[in-house]
Amino acid sequence: MKQFPFSLKFSIPTILLIFGTVLVGAIVQRETVQSFRRVEKDVSDNARFAGDRLSGMLEYLYRRGDVEQAEVAISKMRNDVNLRLSVLYDEKNRVLLATRYELRDRALQNTPAANRELTFTQVRETLSGQILLSEDKRKIWAIYPVPLKMVPGELRPSRIGTLWLEYDLSLLKQRALKDALQRSLSAAVGLGIFCIAIWFFFEKTLTRRAAKLVAASHNFAKGELSIRAKIGGSDELAQIAKAFNQMAKRIQADTETLQASEIALKQANETLENRVRERTASLKEQKEKLEQTLQELQQAQAQLVQQEKMSSLGQLVAGIAHEINNPVNFIHGNITHTIEYAEDLLKLIELYRYHCRKYVPEIESKIEEIDLDFLSQDLSKILTSMKVGTERIRNIVLSLRTFSRMDESEFKTVDLHAGIDSTLLILQHRFRGNNKLRAIEIVKEYGMLPLVDCFAGQLNQVFMNILANGIEALEESRINPETDSPQIRIRTSVIDKGWVEIAIADNGMGIPESVQPQIFNPFFTTKPIGKGTGMGLAIAYQIVTERHSGKLRCCSTPGKGTELIIQIQIGKKSSKIEPFKSSTRMAKSWDDKLN
Amino acid sequence: MKFWSSLQENRSFWSKWCWKVRKQIVILPFALLFSLSLLTSCNTAPASPLRVAINPWPGYETLYLARSLGHYENTPIELIDFPSAAEEMRAYRNGNVEAMASTLDQALTLATTQSDVRIVTIMDFSEGGDVILAKPEILNLKALKGKRVGVEANALGAYTISRALELADLTPNDIEVVPLGLSEHERAFKDGEIDAVVTFGAARTRISETGAKQIFDSSQIPGEIVDTLVVRQSVLETQSEASQALVKGHFEAREYLKKHPQESAERVAPRTQITPEQFLESFEGLRSPDIQENQTLLGGENPLLLKTARRLVAIMMDNDLLSKPVDPANLLDDRLVKAL
């Protein structure tokens, strides 16, 4: 069998029990059967002997005509306890003699041998006896031929009677059964003891030791690697135990090694992961740094470009301003004198006219020609307007100069209003209207601002950028006459202690809400490509928040307008280092030149 | 306590000893098994016997001589004396014997009811051994009319008397048949129960001594009374060795008798209470065929005996001695004499 599913502890005694029971049963049965067979055989032999002898005797007696002796002979058969009935029939199957006298003279049919007529016939024919066993095996019959007295004239007896003996087996069989059972009982007891002995033997040598081995295996399988099977002897179980122990030892050693290497591996893994993480983090950091650096670089580039632009613009402006300044100055200076001289001359003429009332026709025609009255009025007007003009030129130059001070690294204490004004002046042409565009109204609401420590030029750039944005924002409303008139309002005030606020607002189209968070992003622009750098507000933001540690905020209502609010600390000595040292140096030199 | 500790010690000693001899211990069960098988083989039942029924005809004494000479030692052959041929036949019919020394007519009678009758040897031809002895007043066979004649019914006697009566133109109705076994002949004659008796052998000798006259003997019907050895067919097959030994012993004894008649007579005569001289004399009344003649009689395409046997059957049928016809060819079996 492939699998033996039962535990030895139970299977061995069970098998022994079953085996014992079966064997005992078989023994009992065999004993019984055998003893019955023996009884049957013994009685059959008995019957054969008795039948043979008695029939011979009866034949002899009948041959001699000694019927009395025949009767005696047959009655002697009563000596055998088991021989229940002896009957002698004649040739016509009528009872001649019987141990039971009432059967005498009866026909065969009325006797216990009734159903044996056929056997009687056979026996007569063959002249040999037969021993029959009844169907229920309780009776044995001996049927023998008995040649009777010869009829005169014959040499061979034709009259043949039959001797019928009936043996009862019940008593014998009962005794035999009892004996058999007794024998079987003793055999069974012996067998039982033997089985128990075997069971003990197996228990000692097999079951217990096997159970030990099983327990050791279980515990080992559960994980107690130090378990060893302690089984002595040199039979197969001991060999298994020895092999098991060796195996266990090896497994234990291997497991420990494995565990150690696992731990080492885990550690190595962790270390590796840590390293990887670190590396990744550092890489990320680097990446971020690089990105930031890139952005900064880009910003810086844009800023640099812008600054370079502004610087070159500043250079240009400074140059122009410088060149214009000198001639304008002496024109402006000379005009004041000219006005003075003109007034003096007119006054003199007036005096001459008052005092010399002579009519000189040349003088009178000249006076008419030149329209002296008109001339005298007009002259002062002209000169005044020339003065205004030069003043204006001087203002412009001043603004230009103010404006070109953007790259100054010096942290100066300046008047912010001047810077705003100068910026406005520069953008003046853009505020003007023409037949297409309405003019932009500039509303100034200046508060009482003290002088502020700042990078003046940079702040001017901020104003410039914001105002430029405002102008562009108002482009729509300048075209459309139905909207409110375009207006830029500049409001300055002092807020809190040490902070000033400059708010530049326009009533343009406003900034959509989705866009609002992005306006200070570098390179962010809503203008078509090529139209703007998108750096204006970004630079402004950088200048205000980083350079000046200030705040730049935007409030916008789409459709209504936009306001940009700059807040700067009043007094603060900046410790920030200007990154563009080259421009600074250059600007410084230009500033020197301008001054 | 001490007992247990000593037991423990013993146990450990035993276990150590067992350990040492464990290899040898393995042999134990095999040794046991081997000895058991030896015992059982030694204890086998002895070979079944070959019982031979013999009645006191001188021609059969060769078998006793063979036994006396030791030819039947180490064989299961048992020679059983029977007082008369009728008893022999009864014993044969009832299965009590395996072989029988019997006359041919008896064998034929047996063959009507038993199918296993086989004639394996012709022991002798009765030529004067079977006689009818009568009181001195009865001078010849014819004088038997109305007389009481002792006959061994169921046996050869019936044949002899019917043939004798035939020769004397008499029938069995003319005489009073008194059935007597061979052993009863002497007493019955001496007591005067019978007037004549069909007899042979020792009884003949002793009755003759009383002065009875011999009015008939088998020499008047030569070749009709044949003495044979009958063996059951089943026995021929299952106990062929013993059967062979039986027949061989007869022929060897026959030779011995020829060579040493006196000694042989001295060996066997006492058994039937006759003197050696009387024994040898009784041997005069028979002719015993040797092996070659036996082979001719029993074997070949046309066994010689067949004619005699068929004639015997016819005679017996006529005289109501056979209940149904028998073909003697089935009965003759020459395998044993052929092997000698």
Q: Where are the domains of chain B?
A: 50-125+225-338, 130-220
Instruction: Taking the CA atoms of A288, A289, A294 and A298 in sequence, report the sign of the dihedral they define.
Output: positive
Our CA-based measurement puts residue B219 at a distance from the nearest CA of chain A, in whole angstroms, of 22
pLDDT computed for residue A585 by the predictor = 43
pLDDT in tens, B102-116: 999 899 999 998 889
CA A502 from chain center: how many Å? 57
The four Cα atoms B4, B9, B11, B16 give a dihedral, to 10 degrees, of: 170
pLDDT at B7: 62
Q: What is the pLDDT along chain A (595 residues), one digit of tens a residue?
A: 667 777 777 777 788 888 888 888 888 888 888 889 988 999 999 899 999 989 888 988 888 888 888 888 888 888 888 888 899 998 888 898 888 888 888 888 888 888 888 989 989 888 888 999 988 888 999 999 998 888 877 778 888 999 999 999 888 888 888 888 888 888 888 888 888 888 888 888 787 888 888 888 899 888 888 888 888 888 888 888 899 999 989 988 998 899 899 999 989 888 888 888 888 888 888 888 888 788 777 777 776 676 676 667 667 777 887 788 888 888 888 888 888 898 898 889 888 888 887 788 888 888 888 888 888 888 888 888 888 888 888 777 776 776 666 445 567 888 889 889 989 988 888 888 777 788 888 999 998 888 888 888 888 889 988 998 898 888 877 777 777 788 899 999 998 778 999 999 998 888 888 888 888 888 788 888 767 777 788 888 888 888 888 889 999 998 888 999 999 988 765 444 444 333 444 444 444 544 4
Task: Tell me the C-alpha distance between A414 and B16, whole Å.
Answer: 120
Q: CATH second-level architecture of A8-180?
A: 2-Layer Sandwich (3.30)
Bridge partners of B80, per DSSP, are B53
Note whether A205 and A235 are within 8 A (CB).
yes
| Most confident region among A353-357, A513-517, B244-248, B280-284 by mean pLDDT | B244-248
- Per residue in B127-144, pLDDT (tens digit) is 888 999 999 998 888 888
Q: What is the pLDDT of residue B179?
A: 87
Q: Is B150 on the interface with A (CB under 8 A)?
A: no
Sheet with A551-557, edge to edge strand ranges: A441-445, A487-495, A499-506, A561-569, A551-557
- Determine which of B105, B145, B154 to mutate to test the interface with A (most A C-beta atoms within 10 Å): B154
pLDDT digits (tens, 9 = 90+) for B189-238: 999 999 999 998 888 888 998 889 999 999 998 888 899 999 999 999 99
State the smallest CA–CA distance between residue B20 and chain A in angstroms: 12
Domains B50-125+225-338 and B130-220 share a fold: yes
Chain A residues near residue B180 by CB distance under 8 angstroms: 63
Query: Beta strand pairing status for A139-147 and A160-168?
Result: antiparallel
Residue B337 — left, alpha, or beta (φ > 0 → left; ψ -120 to 50 → alpha)? Answer: alpha
By CA distance, what is A127's nearest residue in B? B93
Answer yes or no: are the C-beta atoms of B86 and B154 closer than 8 Å. Answer: yes
**pLDDT band of B1, cuts 50, 70, 90:** low
pLDDT score of A384: 85
Find out whether B337 and B294 touch, Cβ atoms under 8 Å. yes
CA dist A209 and A220 (Å) reads 16
Quickly name the fold that domain B130-220 has.
D-Maltodextrin-Binding Protein; domain 2 (3.40.190)
Which B residues in the span 90-119 are in contact with A, Cβ-Cβ below 8 Å?
90, 93-96, 113-114
Q: State the CATH class of domain A410-578.
A: alpha beta
Residue B255's region, left for phi above 0, alpha for psi from -120 to 50, else beta, is alpha
For B161, nearest residue in chain A (alpha carbons): A155
pLDDT of residue A303: 67
Nearest chain B Cα distance for residue A78, angstroms: 23
B181–A contact, CB cutoff 8 A: yes
β pairing state of A561-569 and B50-54? unpaired
Mind spelling out the 3-state secondary structure of A526-540?
A: CCCCCCCCCCHHHHH
CB atoms within 10 A of CB A413: 13
For residue B340, pLDDT beyond 70: yes
pLDDT-based confidence at B188, cuts 50/70/90? very high
Contact A154 B319 (CB under 8 A): no
| B158 at A interface, C-beta within 8 A | yes
pLDDT value at residue A200: 85
Is the CB of B164 inside 8 Å of chain A's CB atoms? Answer: no
Q: What is the pLDDT of residue B39?
A: 76
B176 touches chain A (CB under 8 A): yes
Strand, coil or helix: A409:
coil
Q: How far is CA A541 from the centre of its chain?
A: 47
As a residue count, chain B comes to 340
State the smallest CA–CA distance between residue B89 and chain A in angstroms: 9
Does residue B147 sit at the A interface (CB-CB below 8 Å)?
no
Query: Is A93 within 8 Å of A117 (Cβ atoms)?
Result: yes
Which residue type does B79 have?
L
CA A304, A310, A314 angle in degrees (round to 5)? 140
Q: Which of B94, B96, B177 sits opposite A155 (nearest CB)?
A: B177
Q: What band does B248 get if pLDDT is binned at 50, 70 and 90?
A: very high
Please report the sign of the dihedral spanned by the C-alpha atoms of residue B182, residue B187, residue B193, residue B199: positive
Q: What does the pLDDT read at residue A583?
A: 41
Record the tokens describing residue A318, joined without a space. 């400074």
- Pick the residue from chain A with its C-alpha nearest to B170: A153
**Domain B50-125+225-338's class?**
alpha beta
User: Phi then psi for A142, rounded to 5 degrees?
Assistant: -115, 120
Nearby residues of B339 by Cβ (< 8 Å), 6 or more positions away: B244
- pLDDT for the residue A306: 67
What pLDDT shows up at residue A584?
43
Q: What is the CA radius of gyration of chain A?
A: 76
**Mean model confidence pLDDT for chain B:** 86
Mutate to test the interface with B, among A44, A66, A127, A235 (most CBs of B within 10 A): A127
Average pLDDT over residues B53-70: 91
pLDDT surpassing 90 at residue B256: yes
Query: Taking the domains of chain A in order of start, what are their residue ranges?
Result: 8-180, 236-379, 410-578
Higher pLDDT, B304 or B41: B304
Task: Compare B23 and A358 and report the one with higher pLDDT.
Answer: A358
CA distance A187 to chain B (A): 19
Residue in A closest to B159 by C-alpha? A155
The answer to whether A478 touches A431, Cβ cutoff 8 Å, is no
Question: C-alpha angle with apex B161: B134 to B102, nearest 5 degrees?
Answer: 110
Query: Would the CB atoms of B181 and A60 count as touching at under 8 Å?
Result: yes
